[in-house]
Amino acid sequence: VMPMMIGGFGNWLVPLMLVIPDMAFPRMNNASFWFLPVSMMLLLGSTYVDNGAGSGWTIYPPLSSGLGHPGCAMDYVILSLHVGGASSIMASINFLITSLTMRTGVMNMLRTSMFVWCIAVTSFLL
């Protein structure tokens, strides 16, 4: 839900609300978008390696360790989480820089919409 709502609606509405043509770093925006399918393919691909990753959604350490879960399926899940995290961090840097620096001359930070503020605060927290 978060990549779709923040990434999809944010990439469409933030430049529209700030009256700018594009985000601050469009290539980093593109890279963060394409990291998400790679992350999903790694996560789904981990089910077909060995016996799949059977540690649950919490990835509880005794179940995800080499002793509790031999094979490389868990490595694919952990790599998937890292790639998804890199995608989120790149997108949040892009949103934060865009919302803080790319405003028109008339629009100060207090005149921006609440949606842009929410995206900026969420990006800062991420």
Number of structural domains found in the chain: 1
- Residues of the chain whose pLDDT is less than 50? none
Q: Which residue type does 85 have? A: G
Tokens coding 41 = 């393919």
The domain containing residue 29 runs over which residues?
1-125
The overall average pLDDT reported for the chain is 85
Q: How far is CA 46 from CA 1, 3, 7, 85, in A?
A: 21, 21, 25, 17
Q: Which residue type does 17 have? A: M
Q: What pLDDT score was predicted for residue 68?
A: 67
Q: What pLDDT score was predicted for residue 102?
A: 85
CA distance 33 to 91: 8
Query: Between vectors from CA 124 to CA 41 and to CA 95, what angle results, nearest 5°?
Result: 65
pTM: 0.82
Instruction: Look at phi and psi of residue 108 and say left if phi exceeds 0, alpha if psi is from -120 to 50, else beta.
Output: beta
